Structure 1
Amino acid sequence: MTEWSYTVKIWAIRKRDYRKPYQVRWKVGIRPHSESFLTLGLAESRRAQLITAAREGEPFDVDSGLPKSLVAKERDISWYEHARNYIEMKWDHSPASTRRTLAEAMATVTPTLVKDTKGMPDARVVRAALYSWGFNKNRWKEDAPADVAKVLDWFKRKSLPTSALADRLLVRATLNALSKKLDGKTAAAGTIRRKRAIFHNALEYAVEAELLTENPLPRVQWKAPEQVAEEVDPACVPDPGQAAKLLAAVRDQSARGRRLVGFFGCMYYAAARPAEVIGLRVQDCDLPRRGWGLLRLRETRPRSGSAWTDSGEAHDKRGLKHRPRKALRQVPIPPELVALLRWHVTAYGAAPDGRLFQTNRGGLVQDTGYGEVWAEARSRALTPAERASSLAKRPYDLRHAAVSTWLSSGVEPQLVALRAGHSITVLFRVYAKFLSNGDEAANAKISTRLGQHG
């Protein structure tokens, strides 16, 4: 940690019989410092710098003897270099999906933080080079393709010093850049929030590295572009009858569909995320012959791409989303899902590691594979008008259907949030329309209660 002092004494220039005869001497606190110069003019210039800094009340670094402004200048590095240092600092403790998000954020803001745009390649080329190579630590030891190396060399030359971000107008321009997609359209609200949070964290790291004296972001009065609320659109959510038809269409379409009907069933009946179902093991399922069963969800297998994982495999392996690594979420499941999973275990068994769902070759279920099955199920189960709409467009809409069914059935929101793995805040924000649909039922309950004392 740097030790600063305001106690500074500067002596007159001393001339000696050396190769650099002109010596500037000063003291910070009780520690003496000196520098020698070839000419008197250079010595006078340095002494004037020190005197000006002392008169302006700057603190001096006890170790180097320099005022804070000169210390910052000597330590300063380019934004591109700082961003890579930030990525390196975060890398080992981040799951693969977070690594991708960090790289995407840095690849978005870095093109704004340049001295000029002369010779800058096409925006898509720049984004690909920065995202896939410049900010992917797994590839730093590889030789980048010539076209990528050319882009990265350009940023090494053109990147602004990190200290330039003390300029709040530059920070504002960077915030505007991270709120846009490559085509110039406004990014989604969640994307903007994530990128702004990462940019803020990178600036905090610059303060820690003493490249900035303070984080300028909180002082910039900037508001993200107006966004549509992040609510689930009821038009996307299948009702129980439609969900049953879709699951039947999955089962009946092919051998691959029969392998996946239980997979989709976990999303619909247990509100499980696809990445949670991929990692679900037989030993984490209680499947009684009668009545309700139980799923113990304990890990996710998100597909992040082999370039971002430590294992080199496409799927990462980690704990539940936004939960401690060993957290466990228990979800009671109705007899309908119990029957589906019992049939699945009888028909297909389990993978050597206990996974309930696997491909024909024993591999992890892929999003491309189950996505194709789902698209075919929609074409079979839905009417032409429904197929043309957003109804059940994504398999993830089954999870939304589960949560909305629970809410409309009168299950307490706190319990719904617990089973779905949401915070209560997120539940109220995302499922606001489904909560409001319960007003009439709530009013009826209140009237009944009041009537008991009438």
Structure 2
Amino acid sequence: MPKPTFKVRIWAIREHVRSGPNTFELRWKVGNEPFSATFKTKTLADGERSKLVTAVNAGEPFDEISGLPMSVVRARDDVSWYAHARDYIEMKWPDSPAKTRTTHADMLATATPHLVRSRVGMPPARDLRTALYSWAFNMNRWTQEPPDQVRKSLAWIERHSLPMSQLDDPMVIRRVLVAFTKNLDGSKAAASSVIRKKNIFHNVLGYAVEARRLPHNPLKLVQWTAPAAVEEVDPAVVANPRQVRDLLAAVRTQDARGRHLEAFFGGMYHAAMRPAEAVFLRDANCYLPPDGAWGMVTLGKTRPRVGSSWTDSGKPHDERGLKWRPEKETRPVPIPPVYVRMLRDHIAAHGVAPDGRLFRTARGGMVQESGYGVVWQRAREKVLVPEQSASPLAKRPYDLRHAGVSFWLRSGVDPAECARRAGHSIAVLLRVYAKCLDGAMEAANHRIAEGLTEWD
């Protein structure tokens, strides 16, 4: 795509004989591309030439495609923020996982109410949020007829949305950044949420530069720092092996659903599976040798629950490969004999679904967080003393994954191998589990001290 250039040459007006009498031609060149325009009077031609000369003298770049100053091109192509946001969704939608689609919609639904000319007559915040998040920025619903309240809210936004040219104002951008720091109810937003929205906003504005709707990304002009996000796993959430064993036993003794979910939770600990990976674990992905030997699970597919309106299939669970990995990449994870026995017992007792899934609901559907979350909380209440139950210790099923990886590190497993098994990069592993390495560091210091003593 041709880029704006400062290489412009403008010739004098000449009478264009071939076009008939009293016709005048303006000729100029932008880069290597020649341009011309004809006028009925010399005065009109001189006026247009004067505009081009003024732009050149002001040091303004010209567009090699149209031959016009970039300010004229942007004014001609200026669209509203709302239209640009929908263009961005349409551009991103085909190649984005369903979960990513929701994060894009979330950011745009937060920013859009703050990019309006006036707030007079603005719909209630929650109504506007629903209209933007669930309809305006959900491409699957663009062909559906929205409810009356949604239609009115979107019509108001469409009328009052700022033109993109006005986003080249740092104070307008700052207004949006401040909005990212608050939840809809006015409470303080999580730092990770603020950073995520800021990054997506930066990408949306970058797309505006690419579409020649902005001369540059105005986010870079704002002296604003996002709150620091804590990525490290808090050791307070990490259960020790005895606590994990007791929690899994408490899951097993609850009821039929608990017995079915014991191996589901066990996979998060012994194989560091993410819940979306455990949901789609199939018997074909499991190597389960006789008792006493290590086995292997090969993870390759995930089924994160997002909502049927966001997926291409229309099903609540999105069909994806491993997180942050190419679609067909797999991750083999060795599993200890205790988990091999757990899976063998599970298959013997419950069988597998027609598609080979090990874990499913009573009706054969995908296991859902709303169901297994209740089972996990009951197990915590049964096993943990009141002080522990009120603490963050193993509060979420996902904390089993943290406990598993932390146990590997504390056992002296090489961080590179821990990262591979967990599906992390080494840098992310060391950053996220930095506080869980204390025991390993102490052991390493002890071994180094012993070595120095020998040389003494």
- TM (norm. structure 1) is 0.92
Task: Give, as a single letter, the amino acid of the residue that structure 2 aligns with 1:320.
Answer: L
1:389 equivalent to 2:385? Answer: no
Instruction: Please name the residue that 1:144 is paired with.
Output: 146
**Cross-structure match for 1:7:** 9
Q: Distance in 2 between matches of 1:181 and 1:12?
A: 63
Partner of 1:134: 136
* Structure 2 SS opposite 1:163: helix
Q: Following superposition of structure 1 onto structure 2, how do residues 12-31 of structure 1 map, counting pairs within 5 Å?
A: 25-29=26-30, 31=34
Deviation at 1:45, TM superposition (A): 6.1
Match of 1:271 in 2: 272
Query: CA–CA distance in 2 between the matches of 1:7 and 1:25?
Result: 12
The correspondence of residues 327-346 of structure 1 with structure 2, limited to 5 A, is 327-346=329-348
Distance 1:13 1:186, change over 3 A: farther
Q: For residues 104-125 of structure 1, give each alpha carbon's deviation from its aligned partner in whole angstroms, at most 9, with x where no partner exists.
A: 1111122222112222222222
Q: Does 1:235 align with 2:251?
A: no
Q: Structure 1 CA distance, aligned partners of 2:410 and 2:8?
A: 67
2:337 maps to amino acid? P
Q: Is the 8 A contact 1:80 1:155 kept in 2?
A: yes
Match of 2:415 among 395, 413, 423: 413
Partner secondary structure for residue 245 of structure 2: helix
What SS does the corresponding residue of 2:36 show, helix, strand or coil? strand
Residue 36 of structure 1: how far off its partner (Å): 5.3
State whether structure 2 residue 37 is matched by structure 1 residue 34. Answer: yes
**What SS class does the counterpart of residue 31 from structure 1 fall into?**
strand
Counterparts of 1:115 and 1:36, CA distance in 2: 38
Kindly, what percent of the aligned residue pairs are identical?
A: 53
8 Å Cα contact 1:407/1:435 also seen in 2: yes
Cα deviation for residue 27 of structure 1 reads: 3.0
Count of equivalent residues = 449
1:352 matched residue in structure 2 = 354
Q: 2:23 & 2:111 partners in 1: Cα distance?
A: 46
Q: What's 2:227 paired with?
A: 225
How many angstroms apart in 2 are the aligned matches of 1:46 and 1:7?
14
Report the counterpart of residue 315 of structure 1 in structure 2: 317
Task: Give per-residue Cα distances to partners, 1:234-279, cap 9 Å, x unaligned.
Answer: 2222221211111111101100111110000001111111000011
**How far apart are the structure 1 equivalents of 2:237 and 2:86?**
40
Partners of 1:320 and 1:214 lie apart in 2 by 35
Which of 52, 65, 68 matches 1:66? Answer: 68
Runs of 5+ consecutive residues of structure 1 not aligned to the other structure: none
The 5 A counterparts of 1:91-240 are 91-227=93-229, 229-240=230-241
User: Per the alignment, do residues 211 and 340 of structure 1 end up closer, same or farther by CA in structure 2, a change over 3 Å counting?
Assistant: same
> Is the CA contact (8 Å cut-off) linking 1:31 and 1:62 kept in structure 2?
no
Q: What amino acid is the match of 1:300?
A: T
Aligned residue type for 1:279: F
Aligned-pair CA distance for 1:339: 0.7
Moved over 4 A (4+): 2-5, 21-24, 35-40, 42-48
Aligned mates of 1:241, 1:381 — CA distance in 2: 11
Equivalence for 2:77: 75
Indicate the residue corresponding to 1:372 in structure 2.
Answer: 374
Match in the other structure for 2:439: 437
The residue type equivalent to 1:157 in the other structure is R
C-alpha deviation, 1:32, in angstroms: 4.3
Q: 1:114 to 1:12 in 2, by over 3 A?
A: farther
User: How has the CA–CA distance of structure 1 residues 112 and 46 changed in structure 2, closer, same or farther, with 3 Å as cutoff?
Assistant: farther
The alpha-carbon distance between structure 1 residues 439 and 27, as it changes in their structure 2 partners (threshold 3 A), is closer
Q: In structure 2, what is the Cα distance between the partners aligned to 1:195 and 1:221? A: 17
CA displacement 1:189-222 (0-9 Å, x = unmatched): 2222221221111111111111112222233332
- Is the deviation greater in 91-100 or in 191-200? 191-200
Mapped to 2, the partners of 1:170 and 1:10 lie a distance apart of: 42
| Residue 407 of structure 1: how far off its partner (Å) | 1.5
Matched AA of 2:316: A
Q: Deviations over 1:81-137 (max 9, x none)?
A: 111111111100011111111111111122222112222222222222111111000
Contact 1:60 1:67 in 2 (8 A): yes
Contact kept, 8 Å, 1:133 with 1:139, in 2: the verdict is yes
Q: Give the superposition deviation at 1:389.
A: 2.0
1:314-363 alpha-carbon deviations (Å, 9 max, x no partner): 00011111111111111111111111100011111111111111122221
Q: Is the 8 A contact 2:13 2:46 kept in 1?
A: no
- Output one character per residue of 1:423-449: Cα deviation in whole Å (capped at 9) or x when no partner: 222222221211123332111111222
State how far apart, in whole Å, the 1-side matches of 2:301 and 2:401 are.
17
Q: 2:252 matched to which residue of 1?
A: 251
Structure 1: distance between partners of 2:158 and 2:50: 33
**How do residues 293-308 of structure 1 correspond to structure 2 at under 5 angstroms?**
293-308=295-310
Q: Is the 8 A contact 2:127 2:149 kept in 1?
A: no
1:282 aligns with 2:287: no
Give, in whole Å, the separation in 2 of the partners of 1:22 and 1:151.
52
Q: CA RMSD in A?
A: 2.5
Question: Quick check: 1:362 aligned with 2:364?
Answer: yes
CA gap of 1:22–1:50, structure 2 versus 1, over 3 A, is farther
